[in-house]
Amino acid sequence: MRLRVGLLLCLFAILSAVGCRKALAPNIDRNKAPETWITAAPFDTVTLTKGIRPGVTTIPIRFHLYWAGSDQDGAVVGFYWAVTETIPTVTRLPGPRASDYHFTTRTDSTFIFDVAEDVPDRLHVFYIYAVDDQGKPDPTPARFVFDALERPELQPVPIFDASYAVGTVFSYSAGVLTHQDKRIDLTDVVGQPGAAPRDTIPSNSEITFQFHGLLRVPGSVVKGFRYKLDEPQLQPVQPESLYHKNVIKYHVPPAEADPYFNGKDMLAVVSGRKTFRLRVVDGANGSQDSTRYFQSNFSPDTWFAGPDPGVTGGPWVTNALGEKYVMYVNGRLPAGGVPGTLISDDSVRVLPADRVPNRTFLEVYKDTLFLRNEGDTVHLGSWLIVHNGGFDRDSPYTVHVAPGIQIIQPSFPGGVVLTPSPLPNGSPIGFRSNVTTFLYPTGPLASSAQSQLYPFFDPNDVFNFQRIACYSPMVAAGKAYVLNRAEDGDGARDGRVDDGRRVAEFPRNAYEQSLRPLILTFNVDFPPVLSTTLSNGAPNPAFRPSVTSVDTFTARSWDLRLPASDRDPYVSGDPVGGPSGFTTLRIRLTVTGKDTTGAALVFTDGNKYLNQSDINFLVPCQLATGPATLTVELCDCAVCVDSFAGEGRCITRDIPVYYKRPTSASTLCGPSGPGPTGTSRSMR
């Protein structure tokens, strides 16, 4: 009973206490937030007119900012600031994250704003807000949007302390091949597009670049470098990685290799025009490049190494025309080759650097090997053989000969010329040939494709182009220009002449005139010949009109006998190496004299006499009595002058005659009447 009364009294006491509790007072923050301003910089976006988009201001990457804050009911104890920026691939400005803010009690500071390596300006936003003495922040931070620009005068500068190459250069001295190690400083920079570098280094040189960065923004630092030579892109590739050393080397000996490069610094530089590019990056990611421009590998020299023009005796014979030649016997040249030429074992025994320069060449036609000189004429449809010499100062002698060819090809000639070597020996490994012909009579210029490299012996090659010299078919009549280029073991070619005919005929300066010996010129196609004499030199009685006296014609129809011959008949498409089985000779006739009024008369027969030597030529009835000239145009082609250039050549022969106009001509036509049917007439 007592327990129940006690429990009721406790419950009544609790209810009385709850019912008498006072109400909670309202929680009102009476602390006013501070305000923030950017005072010495472009206007912040808070102080601009509402609704008007602020313009983007451009400032230098190093900029001194001032700001201020106030608090109506307390004091400003500090500020929080943040900077956000675009990235090169995104142009929208991001907002600041909490981790971007930094606290400061200062009211000014000098900032260095970031740019990108390849872009000298970058869009930013600077945020700042004040905090009062009760920890309350300004809910509307001051900010301004701006472009940070690294002006050229602020960009860092990469400075080369040393750039050089050390390599072996070969030379001839008194007929002896010598070599020396040579240091070549690299000082040239990339200038005009296409300009040749001033500096050339030997193939397989060790190359060294040493450098540092010059800062032009106070308070900045050099973050690192990037570089590129034969690499596909700037190294290191990753944007967050930079090169922090100050030396870069190429083709160093294995014992000196830097483990940092994993063997890449032992690689040789590829032959050709090279540009080493060095980039320095400063603390704001600003950058600038410097270059070194040079040629790696000396280009080889080229000369013609044709037969000795003074060679005599042995199989050599000189004909009545002064031509030197050697006859084939049963389709073969004399055993042991041809003296004075590389048509012998000299072609595999004498290296190109040891060959005697001779601006001569060989021609093969039918069963004859001719020795030809500059300016000679060769047969249309013949083969041209050109041998070359050359010198190379720095490349390995990697002549293109298949390994073990002696086993699979017992007829392989062998010799030092056809023996590859990883070491230089002063000789290029071969040559390439290009023959252009200015077609008779007035062009155009026909150019052969540049030949493959010779010598070349590789039975496994898909083209099976096994050659020891240049062999070119002469199938177009005109003036030919031979340009040969030596090629070394690193693939460099003698590129001094770009257009053989232009340099030979129209040199632009003294330097190009000095290159004339690199081009060999000659004529292709012996012109046809009127048979005015016999083989013994006596006049040919079968030829009419006479070329030793003046013949007289007494009728309008002139009976002509014009036998002719062609030394080298050739029909396009026939096999090269000998005459075609069909000879083409075409005659066109013109008579020049006076008409019956005393005026000059020139008449060209409209007929073209193809493979005819007995011709009845009808002169115009206006041709008056008196001396006249018969002009015979003889061509070894049917339409070469009119339509197809290069098919053949023509000659003209003026033969004086005398004409007695028959009385019947006066009755047939008046002084100005029509000419003979089927002819054309010109009066002047």
pLDDT for residue 459 = 84
The CATH code of the domain at 35-152 is 2.60.40.10
| Whether the Cβ atoms of residue 67 and residue 48 lie closer than 8 Å to each other | no
- The most distant pair of C-alpha atoms in the chain lies apart, rounded to whole Å, by 185
The answer on pLDDT for 681 being more than 70 is no
The answer on pLDDT for 433 being more than 90 is yes
H/E stretch holding 419: none
**Rounded alpha-carbon distances, angstroms, from residue 665 to 38, 218, 551, 670:** 116, 109, 20, 8
- Of 313-317, 345-349, 350-354, 464-468, minimum mean pLDDT range: 464-468
- For the stretch 161-186, pLDDT in tens is 999 999 999 887 777 888 889 999 99
**Rounded alpha-carbon distances, angstroms, from residue 460 to 77, 341, 400, 404, 457:** 87, 30, 12, 12, 9
Q: How far is CA 661 from the centre of its chain?
A: 68
Side chain identity at residue 497, one-letter code: V
- Looking at per-residue pLDDT, the higher value among 214 and 18 belongs to 214
The second-level CATH assignment, the architecture, of 157-296 is: Sandwich (2.60)
| Whether the Cβ atoms of residue 277 and residue 210 lie closer than 8 Å to each other | no
pLDDT for residue 535 = 85
- Of 22-36, 267-281, 367-381, minimum mean pLDDT range: 22-36
pLDDT for residue 53 = 62
pLDDT for residue 466 = 87
Q: Residues 154-175, buried b or exposed e (16+ Cβ, 10 A)?
A: bbbebebeebbbebbbbeeeee
Flag whether the pTM goes above 0.85: no
pLDDT for residue 684 = 28
Q: Where in the chain is the domain with CATH 2.60.40.10?
A: 35-152
Q: Residues 220-245, buried b or exposed e (16+ Cβ, 10 A)?
A: bebbbbbbbbeeeebbeeeeeebbee
The answer on pLDDT for 237 being more than 50 is yes
pLDDT for residue 672 = 46
Indicate the pLDDT class of residue 92, thresholds 50, 70 and 90.
confident
Name the β-bridge partners of 226.
279
- For the stretch 293-308, pLDDT in tens is 999 999 999 999 999 9
- Looking at per-residue pLDDT, the higher value among 118 and 631 belongs to 631
- In degrees and rounded to multiples of 5, residue 259 shows phi and psi of -55, -25
pLDDT for residue 173 = 73
Rg (alpha carbons) of the chain, rounded to whole number: 47
pLDDT for residue 89 = 62
pLDDT for residue 269 = 92
- Looking at per-residue pLDDT, the higher value among 114 and 88 belongs to 114
What integer is the mean pLDDT of 540-569? 94
The Cα 427–Cα 366 span in angstroms is 34
Specify the pairing of strand 377-378 against strand 368-373.
Answer: unpaired
What integer is the mean pLDDT of 469-478? 94
